């Protein structure tokens, strides 16, 4: 009997904006059935900050959550993470939220990594999957905007805003406290209900695209066939929409497909050498020579629920004109690209191997962020599972013979953050040295005490009339002193 499918809508509030290194402050989740009816009880947990990091002050000003509040109300990270994983790994669960694929899922993966849990299993095992409402919202605006009020950005540009807070307000959806995790989750569900009610076929189509096979089917062969692609990489002025064509298999990552923006003549893709292509693809526009432009290639990530549509009739001529998408011009470039691929497709594929070849990064990466340095072999994964099943005292006495060089340090930090009382004298000294390197010296680019003081001073001056901000900054300064008092 297969598991009952459900959505688990969730959101993190964090102490920074970099999911691979910054820490969670709060997590909230609500489970619904596929018709978006709530089932079960909402969950909300805070996470106790460990003593080897400093929060970013701007994040605290946004969320209003101080590290002291998280310490008082929160769980140790190991327990916090175990609870989250249990929800996301419940058989049949599709984990999702608003911008979860690019932020929350990366945060979850790195949390699971630091806490010895398989970072990927909950995304595909036992009927589980992941999705993200954000690109579905963008697709609704691009293809079927009727029935929804689309707010404008606050910068007077006149462009549409996809901010959850503004969409909620414009459409009369409950959103009691932006940047409170549970409130954000409820607002996301309300927005999903609105789209599902107004554009049910589009909602279901986007949901189907959480499966790589469905995405690959829409893309088809690498033969120049035009596709509609919705992505935040394209300007909001054109509805985050572009007419593109897949040009080749990605030579390094099987989950990516390079696509060409058909607003542009594809001839230069074949005329330029690999070095020039690489430079113009990976260099910022501001750093290119005068008169040079970036190459209009982006990659579609098959495993990140991209909105790709093979049926161009989905975009009406009227809507294309509104978004300034020139379908006639795009089709002409697609026809030209198809001819060039038929003649030179093999040589282009070889050229792309050089373009996408990854130079080995010789700089040592901190183990907390080394998730993507390689998959864990099965024997090491089983040993990590034994570590998680052990009591703190048992774990302290285990002989760990990992094949993967990252894992001994990872397990040691897992112990030090969650059960420091189990560290022996040498391990305590080692942890003190780690904390000093990170909190005082800013090792591996982590926020250190001196930089934090500079940020606090600048923000105090900017927010001199804001009593709430001053109180939050005072709380963070007191926390930073507490975090470092045994190091100074």
The count of C-alpha atoms lying within 13 angstroms of the C-alpha of 40, restricted to the half-sphere facing its C-beta, is 15
DSSP per position, 290-358 = TT-----EEEEETTS--EEES-GGGS-HHHHHHTT--HHHHHHHHHHHHHHHHHHHHHHHHHHHHHHPP
Query: 313: buried, middle or exposed (CB in 10 Å: 19+, 13-18, 0-12)?
Result: exposed
Tell me the CA distances in angstroms from 298 to 247, 255, 257, 295, 301, one per residue in order.
11, 13, 8, 9, 10
Q: Is 52 annotated as a binding residue?
A: no
Q: Decide if 49 contacts 15 (C-beta within 8 A).
A: yes
Query: CA 30, CA 9: separation in Å to the nearest integer?
Result: 5
**Residue 221 DSSP class:** S
Q: Is 184 annotated as a binding residue?
A: yes
Q: Is 254 annotated as a binding residue?
A: no
Side by side, which strands form the sheet with 93-96? 43-46, 24-32, 6-14, 93-96, 129-130
The count of C-alpha atoms lying within 13 angstroms of the C-alpha of 19, restricted to the half-sphere facing its C-beta, is 19
Query: CA 440, CA 436: separation in Å to the nearest integer?
Result: 5
Structural element, H or E, at residue 385: helix 378-389
Nearest to 307, CA basis, from 240, 235, 247: 240
Helices (H), 199-307: 200-208, 212-219, 267-271, 274-282
Q: Decide if 40 contacts 456 (C-beta within 8 A).
A: no
Query: CA 388, CA 382: separation in Å to the nearest integer?
Result: 10
Q: Is 481 annotated as a binding residue?
A: no
Longest dimension (CA), the chain: 72
Residues that constitute the known binding site: 11, 13, 163, 184
Which parts are annotated binding residues for substrate? Answer: 13, 163
**Which residues are documented as binding site for Mg(2+)?**
11, 13, 184
């Amino acid at each position: 009997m297969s598991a009952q499918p459900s959505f688990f809508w969730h959101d993190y509030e964090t102490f920074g904006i970099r999911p691979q290194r910054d820490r969670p402050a709060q997590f909230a989740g609500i489970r619904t059935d596929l018709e978006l009816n709530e089932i079960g009880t909402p969950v909300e947990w805070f996470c106790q900050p460990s003593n080897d990091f400093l929060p970013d002050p701007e994040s605290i000003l946004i969320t209003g959550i101080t590290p002291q509040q998280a310490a008082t109300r929160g769980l140790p990270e190991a327990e916090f993470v175990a609870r989250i994983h249990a929800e996301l790994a419940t058989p049949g669960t599709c984990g999702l939220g608003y911008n979860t694929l690019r932020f929350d899922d990366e945060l979850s993966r790195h949390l699971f990594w630091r806490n010895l849990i398989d970072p990927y299993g909950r995304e595909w095992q036992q009927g589980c999957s992941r999705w993200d409402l954000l690109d579905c919202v963008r697709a609704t605006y691009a293809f079927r905007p009727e029935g929804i009020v689309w707010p404008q950005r606050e910068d007077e540009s006149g462009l549409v805003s996809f901010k959850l807070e503004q969409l909620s307000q414009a459409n009369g959806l409950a959103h009691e406290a932006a940047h409170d995790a549970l409130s954000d989750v409820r607002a996301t569900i309300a927005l999903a209900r609105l789209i599902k009610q107004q554009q049910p076929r589009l909602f279901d189509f986007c949901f189907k695209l959480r499966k790589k096979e469905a995405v690959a089917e829409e893309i088809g062969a690498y033969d120049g066939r035009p596709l509609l692609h919705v992505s935040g990489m394209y300007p909001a002025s054109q509805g985050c929409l572009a007419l593109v064509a897949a040009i080749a298999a990605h030579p390094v990552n099987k989950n990516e497909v390079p696509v060409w923006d058909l607003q542009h003549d594809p001839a230069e893709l074949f005329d330029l050498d690999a070095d020039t292509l690489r430079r113009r693809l990976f260099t910022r526009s501001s750093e290119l020579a005068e008169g040079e432009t970036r190459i209009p290639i982006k990659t579609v990530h098959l495993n990140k629920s991209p909105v790709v549509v093979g049926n161009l009739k989905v975009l009406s001529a009227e809507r294309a004109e509104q978004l300034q998408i020139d379908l006639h011009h795009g089709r002409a470039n697609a026809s030209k690209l198809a001819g060039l691929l038929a003649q030179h497709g093999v040589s282009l594929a070889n050229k792309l191997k050089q373009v996408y070849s990854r130079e080995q990064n010789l700089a040592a990466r901190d183990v907390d962020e080394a998730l993507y340095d390689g998959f864990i072999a099965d024997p090491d994964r089983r040993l990590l599972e034994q570590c998680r099943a052990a009591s703190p005292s048992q774990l302290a006495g285990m002989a760990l013979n990992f094949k993967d060089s990252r894992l001994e340090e990872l397990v040691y930090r897992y112990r030090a953050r969650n059960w420091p009382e189990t560290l022996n004298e040498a391990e305590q000294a080692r942890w003190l040295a780690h904390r000093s390197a990170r909190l005082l010296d800013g090792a591996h680019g982590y926020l250190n005490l001196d930089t934090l003081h500079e940020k606090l001073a600048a923000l105090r001056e900017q927010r001199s009339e804001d009593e709430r901000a001053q109180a939050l900054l005072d709380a963070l300064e007191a926390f930073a002193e507490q975090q470092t008092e045994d190091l100074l």
